[in-house]
Amino acid sequence: MTDRTWFITGSSTGLGRTLAERALAAGHRVVATARRPEVLCDVIAQYPERALALRLDVTNHRQVDDAIDAAIARFGALDIVVNNAGYGLIGALEECSDAQIRANIETNLFGTINVIRAAIPHLRAQKSGHLVLMSAVAGLANHEGFSIYGATKFALEGIGEAMKLELGPLGVNVTLIEPGPFRTDFIGRSLERADRTIDDYRATSGKFAAYLDKIAGSQPGDPAKAAEAIIAAITAAAPPLRLVLGKFAHFFVRKKLDRMAAEMKEWETIGLPTDF
């Protein structure tokens, strides 16, 4: 089906913009939102009948409600709501300031919750729709230096799992997307650095931060292929709960699952017999 209406947050650059462009090219309708919607003028100009750009800061409740209402007023309904807005925070937990921690959680977690809660009543009423949560490989297998950023993605994983059970019987699908490093501006414009550097973390969070800097501009993931994969999964007859994107993410997720299974087996003689 190529006549669905997509509502995508964080569409100004990166994977959000690429997804909006690819969905439009495939014949869908797209409501592309961003804090500066004027940067989407070129996209809208190509598809004036099927594209709408709206201003949206996901931490602003009024803007969220207004954007959802405007999207429905323009296209009649919402079919796929993609929660893509967010940014990274690199640094050991101790290195990040209180303000940085709260701001990252406010955008990545509560911003997503704001959009979800505004969209759900409409999806429930029409007994159809799809909520897409942009997680990350860090939401399943976290890295040193991503304690806060990863925590926001771990939280989305839990929300997505529960919503799948809550909304599935009502006709609404839920999918979590877990990308590895893709060639976008995430490492540059969308990655905030901790306010201070503590030498004791040089070999852990510092090393991972240096790795990110090293691969900036040469990340292995292709955003266009990611967008195509997301569209294929979301429009499938039986969409997945999780879609892991890229070799990097697949490697670390499999490694995490194997490690968890081995650790459970090793400690089950201690942990298992603890019931009455």
Rg over alpha carbons for the chain, rounded to the nearest Å, is 19
- Give the three-class secondary structure for 204: coil
Of these residues, 135, 147, 201, 205, which one is catalytic? 135
Q: Which of 12, 153, 201, 205 is catalytic?
A: 153
Q: Extract the runs of DSSP E, i.e. beta strands, from the chain.
A: 5-8, 29-34, 51-55, 80-83, 88-90, 130-134, 173-179, 191-193, 242-245
Residue of 147, 149, 201, 205 marked catalytic: 149
One-letter amino acid identity for 18?
Answer: T
* 149 tagged catalytic: yes
User: Distance between the two ends of the chain, CA-based, in angstroms?
Assistant: 53
Query: How far is Cα 242 from Cα 177, in angstroms, rounded to an integer?
Result: 6
Does residue 211 have an active-site annotation? no
- For residue 127, what are the CA distances in angstroms to 79, 123, 141, 173, 272? 10, 6, 34, 10, 41
| Structural contact between residues 68 and 78, judged by C-beta atoms closer than 8 angstroms | yes
DSSP summary character for residue 221: B
Cβ proximity of 129 and 78 under 8 Å: yes
Is 153 catalytic? The answer is yes
User: Could you list the active site residues?
Assistant: 135, 149, 153
